[in-house]
Structure 1
Amino acid sequence: MVRRLVTVFYWIIALEFLVGAVTKYWPGTGPLGSDYAAKFTGWGYPAWVRFLVGSIELVCAVLLVIPNRRARFLGAGSLVLLLVGAVTTHIVNHDPVSESTAAPLHLVITAVFALVNWPAHWTDLLPGRRGRVGAATGG
């Protein structure tokens, strides 16, 4: 039961980032959000950065729903880095609280996801690794 709830939570957060990625690609003000082309240029970023951010959100959303700790860690860890930039952008530009609450909230959630899926050793992130030899004995 708990495992299913956790899986549903991963899917909900991934869906939110999927919607966020779609809004980054949407030209003008779309049905799902505001005009990110204007927002990104207003924040001082080149117009193409919104596509980069949307692509990162899309890839990370897919990684979050793969039932593999390594994939979930890479997705959540990448989102933590992206969201630190988003929170910093909102702070530097003095955005109103109504527009600035989603980024720190999602930063905390993805940081928890990253901590829960933290690998025992950095080499566990490499392809084909199932765990270090001697990791249980410290050798």
Structure 2
Amino acid sequence: MSSRVWPRRLLTLFFWVLALEFILGAVTKYWPGPTFFGPAYSIKFAEWGYPPYARFAVGTIELVCAILLALPDKRCKFLGSSTLVLVLTGAVTTHIVNHDPIYESISAPTHLIIMAIIALATWPADWRDLFRPRAAVTSRMPARRNLSP
């Protein structure tokens, strides 16, 4: 097996694990009762000062972004990760403002850093590439030259 295949597989596994984490987060926001993370998110959102139904919006955004992270297209990864940067910035701010204990607040900043790195790594060369068909984007790229002996 080629030595270039393993890093790609590990990276794919990494994105799948992240996607599963956000799918789990989305499911717990839709769950009506207590979760294994503590009380129901309808109660948590009310304690944080948000309307209880806001959990559905956040859960839906997390679910869509998780799907985008799992797709192989670099543009999808950028859109998913950059949207999650916005959501996670709100989560981190909420935890700070509400003086939540560190054990409840560690996940959001950790994932914020990871999503920011992914967004920067998948940043498109031209913002219009996000809206062009994939064939048009790849046809604009210069051909790679094999420089190895």
TM-score, structure 2 as length reference:
0.85
Mapped partners of 1:36, 1:108: distance in 2: 23
**C-alpha deviation, 1:100, in angstroms:** 0.3
Mapped partners of 1:105, 1:20: distance in 2: 14
**C-alpha deviation, 1:134, in angstroms:** 6.7
Q: Any idea what the Cα deviations from partners look like across 1:87-107, whole Å, max 9, x if unmatched?
A: 000000000001000000000
Structure 1 outlier segments of 4+, above 6 Å: 132-136
2:29 maps to what in 1? 24
1:94 maps to what in 2? 99
Between the two proteins, the alignment pairs up a number of residues equal to 135
1:70/1:117 contact within 8 Å kept: yes
Mapped partners of 2:124, 2:22: distance in 1: 23
Aligned residue for 2:72, secondary structure, equals coil
Mapped partners of 1:117, 1:59: distance in 2: 18
Within a 5 Å distance, the mapping from 1:82-121 to structure 2 comes to: 82-121=87-126
Q: Any idea what the Cα deviations from partners look like across 1:71-90, whole Å, max 9, x if unmatched?
A: 01000000000000000000
**C-alpha deviation, 1:28, in angstroms:** 1.6
Mapped partners of 2:31, 2:141: distance in 1: 47
1:121/1:132 contact within 8 Å kept: no
Q: Find the partner of 2:64 among 56, 59, 62.
A: 59
Counterpart residue identity of residue 58, structure 1: L
Q: Any idea what the Cα deviations from partners look like across 1:43-89, whole Å, max 9, x if unmatched?
A: 00001100000000000000001000110100000000000000000
2:81/2:119 contact within 8 Å kept: yes
Tell me, yes or no, if structure 1 residue 49 matches structure 2 residue 54.
Answer: yes
Counterpart residue identity of residue 33, structure 1: F
Mapped partners of 1:125, 1:6: distance in 2: 22
2:41/2:52 contact within 8 Å kept: no
Alpha-carbon RMSD: 1.6
TM-score, structure 1 as length reference:
0.91
Tell me, yes or no, if structure 1 residue 131 matches structure 2 residue 137.
Answer: yes
Larger Rg: 2
Percent identity between the aligned chains? 56
